[in-house]
Structure 1
Amino acid sequence: RGLWDRTANETAWTALLGTSRGGPDVSPYAAPARATDLSGLPPAYLDVGSAETFRDETVTYASRLWAAGGRAELHVWPGAFHGFDTLAPKAALSRTARAARLHWLRRLFAR
């Protein structure tokens, strides 16, 4: 349980896709994980908590970007749940996560 758990995720997908949810004809524009070609995408910053619903799919997405020749920076924050940095903004891990995002942006725009 957290701010966004498996039940909330299933409810959101059903609200978006209705009876098409999980079916073969869902567009990658509605469900980006269904995209088959990830080449040519801009650099990506991905961060996720180790204890959140989206952990595995975020790691898989980063791996797919790398396999397609893309640039991605991935952070998996130990023990963190979805929205950890908003719920506990003063926690050391939240501050570290925000600093990492800002550092990535500065490096990206400095190129």
Structure 2
Amino acid sequence: MTGYEEMAAQLDRYAAVPGDVLREVVTGDGLCFWAFDRTDMPALSGQDSPDRELAARMCAGCPVIDQCREWELRTAGPDTVGVWDALPETDRRALYRVWARRRAGGDVR
């Protein structure tokens, strides 16, 4: 299993959770929604390694990373931008393809 396949499989447990519940959990408990001034977030560089490091640093210690990942994949899908769920947009876009294939194919255990 690749890293994206493992991440997508980990999100299977949220498949039946309503979107409004995920939104409430993420906006209520996500560090980026209450611990930081969102207008002063650092910008992504467009380079994979620095963006991964920035995303991991920005989300370090957040208790709802998986719920955030599920919510962002549902709401933004392949058009995701910025940092969500400790991943930069390039990784989330690659993850989205695997996640969507699992959901469409019913490959949820």
TM-score, scaled relative to structure 1: 0.29
Q: Which has the larger radius of gyration?
A: 1
Select the structure with the greater relative contact order (CA < 8 A; seq sep ≥ 6). Answer: 2
Q: Which has the higher helix share?
A: 2
